[in-house]
Amino acid sequence: MSISAQMIKELRERTGAGMLDCKKALSETEGNADKAIEWLRKKGLSKAAKKAGRVAAEGLVFAYIHGEGRIGVLVEINSETDFVARNEEFKGFVSDIAMHIAATNPLAVTTEEFPPSAIEKEKAVLMAKAREEGKKEEMLEKIVGGQINKWLKEQCLLEQKFVKNPDVTVGEHLTNTIAKIGENIKIRRFVRYELGEGIEKKSEDFAAEVEAASKV
């Protein structure tokens, strides 16, 4: 089947893959665009897997402020070379991840990095809830164990659905970006601040009492 320049152009616009890769994908799939996208994705995953073990010590520390200063995120994302760190696509990826963190407030990059204290606290809450619901004592560990695993995935950055494209997880978006850029990329660490977080705020009534007392 003849692969036209228009077919290649449309596939490139849909995937962001290179012209030669798009042509190869269409040739391999007899011009079927959907199958070509899957072909490119599999090729990208294979390439990304080979790059995942390579050292990434360059990159960016990026600051993102959201909601007129109410939420702030500081994230470090590493690349293999300074050249890629200055690449606009890499910068866009870093910005998107910072925005995602601001929106979803994950607790850690991977499940392995979760604070044990946070896991124990959540487990205690779920245990108490299960007992209140009348679950059998001998089934509690199994029930709560499954709930904890679900909770960990919801709170883990790489397992979360990417806010700009819920069809993929952040981890899958990372893999696709590695394949596209051609270097290993690692989301190393982040910190998220929210205005007033952790401060015990006084009730309106109590605040009014304090104000009234100050006028006496």
pLDDT at 216 over 50: no
pTM comes to: 0.65
Residues 6+ apart with CB under 8 A from 76: 59, 60, 61, 62, 188, 189, 190
> Tell me, what's the pLDDT at 25?
83
Q: Matching CATH topology for 1-51 and 115-153?
A: no
Average pLDDT over residues 75-104: 93
pLDDT tens per residue across span 35-74: 887 877 766 655 555 555 565 778 999 999 998 899 999 9
CA distances from 90 to 56, 72, 180 (A): 13, 20, 10
At 205, is the pLDDT very low, low, confident or very high (cuts 50, 70, 90)?
low
Quick one: CATH architecture of 1-51? Orthogonal Bundle (1.10)
Domain ranges of the chain: 1-51, 115-153
Q: DSSP letters of the chain?
A: ----HHHHHHHHHHH---HHHHHHHHHHTTT-HHHHHHHHHHHHHHHHHHHTTS---EEEEEEEEETTTTEEEEEEEEES-HHHHT-HHHHHHHHHHHHHHHHH--SBSSGGGS-HHHHHHHHHHHHHHHHHTT--GGGHHHHHHHHHHHHHHHHBGGGSEETTEEEEEHHHHHHHHHHHHTS-EEEEEEEEEETTTT--PPPHHHHHHHHHHHT-
At residue 100, the pLDDT reads 97
Q: Which residue has the higher pLDDT, 90 or 141?
A: 90
Mean pLDDT for the stretch of residues 164-172 = 90
Please tell me the distance from the alpha carbon of residue 143 to that of residue 135, in angstroms, as a whole number. 9
CATH topology of domain 115-153: GTP Cyclohydrolase I; Chain A, domain 1 (1.10.286)
Express as a percent the part of the chain with pLDDT over 90.
Answer: 28
pLDDT band at residue 108 under the 50/70/90 scheme: very high
Mean pLDDT for the chain overall:
83
pLDDT for the residue 185 = 92
pLDDT tens, residue by residue, 64-79: 999 889 999 999 999 9
